[in-house]
């Protein structure tokens, strides 16, 4: 049987390569938007954090769809099925590698957004640490609620992608062969 480490590395590398390509396109889109916006409106009043925040949502969505496509390729690809490993171990390792790749994408985007926030608003960290957090305020509950909402949004998007895939597969089972090829390319 194949070890977890070897299987994880085999599944992680293509996902990491895809995430790095998405991050490169994300950075390129930010730079092009920055140049075009700066050229037309001037660079003085440009809000870097707003610019980065706008592209972060798009980059995360593209990353999620790309990872879902990778996930599906692994499950359906015959070469992965030939690896001497149980179906459960393959599925769970693939899911863990996908989750790790998505966390990598989100971490890079969060660090870049934090840096842009510091550049755009230099005194924001000083103000954040000088706030008096009263024990009467439910800060922990609000933080946990935000994390829960983000996890539910991620889960909801993953369910939507899986649902779209299920509908495409169900339709392609009933459609004649000539239309089936165009349906499969979705």
Q: Where are the beta strands (DSSP E) in the chain?
A: none
- Cα torsion angle, 94, 98, 99, 101, sign: positive
What pLDDT does residue 130 have? 67
Summarize pLDDT for 43-99 with one digit per residue, the tens.
777 777 788 888 988 998 889 888 888 887 887 777 877 888 887 888 888 888 888
Separation in Å, CA 26 to CA 21, 57, 112, 145: 8, 10, 11, 29
Task: Report pTM.
Answer: 0.73
């Amino acid at each position: 049987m194949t070890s977890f480490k070897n299987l994880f590395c085999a599944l992680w590398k293509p996902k990491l390569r895809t995430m790095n390509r998405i991050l490169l396109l994300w950075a390129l889109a930010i730079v092009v938007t920055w140049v075009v916006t700066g050229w037309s409106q001037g660079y003085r009043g440009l809000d870097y954090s707003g610019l980065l925040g706008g592209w972060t949502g798009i980059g995360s969505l593209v990353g999620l769809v790309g990872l879902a496509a990778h996930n599906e390729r692994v499950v359906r690809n015959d070469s992965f099925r030939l690896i001497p490993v149980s179906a459960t171990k393959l599925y769970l390792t693939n899911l863990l590698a996908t989750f790790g790749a998505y966390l990598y994408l989100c971490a890079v985007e969060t660090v870049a957004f934090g840096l842009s926030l510091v550049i755009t608003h230099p005194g924001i960290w000083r103000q954040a640490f000088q706030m008096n957090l009263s024990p009467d305020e439910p800060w922990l509950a609000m933080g946990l609620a935000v994390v829960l909402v983000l996890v539910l949004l991620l889960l909801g998007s993953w369910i939507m992608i899986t649902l779209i895939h299920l509908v495409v597969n169900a339709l392609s089972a009933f459609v004649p062969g000539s239309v089936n090829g165009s349906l499969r390319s979705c």
